[in-house]
Amino acid sequence: MGIELAMRPYRRRFAQPLHTAHGPWGWREGLLIRLRDSQGRLGYGEVAPIPWFGSETVAEALAFCRAQGEEWRCEEIPDALPATQFGLESAQADLAGQIAGQEPAIPADSFANAAICGLLPAGETALAVAPQRLAQGHRTLKWKIGVGSIADEIHWLDQLVVDLPSDARLRLDANGGLNLAQAEQWLTVCDRINANPHLAAVEYLEQPLPPDQLAAMTALRERYQTAIALDESVATVVQLETCWQRGWRGVFVVKPAIAGSPQQLKAFCQKHQPRLVFSSAFETAIGRRAALAIAARCSPSPAPALGFGTQGWFADDWDTLTPAELWDRL
Ligand SMILES: [Mg+2]
């Protein structure tokens, strides 16, 4: 027997369902993977797909893993299964001692939070929550836009950048939900805010237009000072490569857990040195530490805040468990 492969599906409930472009997201489903070598060493990995971001389903990941039998022979994993590529490759890396092991997940504290982007709720509630996020140590905050009326949201943004300290930064995420005129309106406002040093800055506008409008977003980059980031456009390494080839030189938001092969992601980063911002896919601590290990290797310098402000969003205590404890819990 070479390397033994075992997997355990999981389901965990969000404390509050997440609002997504595809409706409420109440339960996070995924798959934990454990590799064991002939000397009894263990390596953990996680398959945490987001199907509406173009990933495979948990059932497809499970079918691929089951088809391997009980032995892992380092088969090539198809590009159609990006979350499975991440899960199995990171389990192999863990087995090889390349991802630190047994310690519990880092508790949320203000020191760690300075490097992590805090999440604000959509709408006017952001104004009330922003001081709490600052008190937790966050200096970069993310706010979803395109949820309410544009006039209201711009009004609240104008208030937010006054309320926040001038060294704080905001990321505005439209999830591809704006039209061109709205994107222009937002970027005009962002440029006006960013020209005033007394206000908090808008770090970037994230995915203003749908993924099929890359050329329009590239043209917007040339007309406005405020940076634009792609997220939905670049769910996988294959899509990162495609957008790079088509000339995108703005920010790329990357969720390692659904991006595909960590090796290919690292190769892309080394070759092109793109402006990457790493983000969580609401994975467990097992996927999180593998994703953070990639972020530590591939982030530009100075590293932008990590989009990993996702702990404490579930109605369970899993974030406090070691990988082995979590595995035993399932
Ligand atoms: Mg986004």
Write down the domain spans for the chain.
3-101+318-329, 110-298
Nearest by Cα to 237 from 287, 289, 276: 276
Catalytic one of 142, 144, 266, 271: 144
Residue 315 and residue 106: Cα distance in Å, rounded?
A: 18
Chain position carrying tokens 């749908």: 210
pLDDT score, position 1: 65
Residues 142, 255, 266, 271: which is the catalytic one? Answer: 255
pLDDT for the residue 27: 96
Is there a catalytic annotation at residue 266? Answer: no
Distance 231 CA to ligand 1 centre (A): 5
pLDDT given at position 111: 61
Q: Parallel, antiparallel, or unpaired: how do β-strands 227-230 and 3-20 relate?
A: unpaired
41 or 101, which is more confident: 41
pLDDT at residue number 144? 93
Q: Which CATH fold topology does 3-101+318-329 show?
A: Enolase-like; domain 1 (3.30.390)
Residue partners of 219: CB distance under 8 A and separation at least 6 = none
Quote the CA–CA distance of 80 and 230 in Å, as a whole number: 21
**Ligand 1 mean position to 154 CA, how many Å?**
19
Taking the centre of ligand 1 as the mean of its atom positions, its distance from the CA of residue 19, in whole angstroms, is: 12
Mean of all residue pLDDT scores within the chain: 93
Three-state DSSP class for 321?
A: coil
Task: Name the helix (H) or strand (E) containing 246.
Answer: none
What CA–CA distance (Å, rounded) separates 181 from 183?
A: 5
Question: Do 134 and 42 form a contact (C-beta atoms < 8 A)?
Answer: no
Q: What spacing in Å lies between the alpha carbon of 45 and ligand 1's midpoint?
A: 24
Q: Is 255 a catalytic residue?
A: yes
pLDDT at residue 21 tops 80: no
CA distance 299 to 306: 9
Q: At what angle do helices 82-95 and 58-67 cross, to 10 degrees?
A: 50
Confidence of residue 58 (pLDDT cuts 50, 70, 90): very high
Q: What is the CATH superfamily name and number for domain 110-298?
A: Enolase-like C-terminal domain (3.20.20.120)
Greatest Cα pair distance, the chain, in angstroms, is 65
* Contact in structure between 212 and 221 (CB atoms under 8 Å): no
**Closest C-alpha to 263, from 98, 115, 69:** 98
C-alpha neighbours within 13 Å on the C-beta side of residue 84: 26
Question: Residues 123-143: pLDDT tens digits?
Answer: 999 999 999 999 999 999 999
What is the average pLDDT across 40-56? 94
Strand partners, 23: 20
Smallest Cα–Cα separation from 292: which of 272, 312, 278? 278
Q: What is the pLDDT of residue 9?
A: 97
Structure tokens at 106: 């880092």
Query: Is residue 330 very low, low, confident or very high in pLDDT (cuts 50, 70, 90)?
Result: very high
For residue 68, is it left (φ>0), alpha (ψ between -120 and 50) or beta? alpha
The one-letter code for the residue type at 325 is E
**62 Cα to the center of ligand 1, angstroms:** 27
Which tops the pLDDT comparison, 259 or 299?
A: 259
pLDDT level of residue 51 (50, 70, 90 thresholds): confident
- Asked if residue 104 has pLDDT above 50, the reply is no
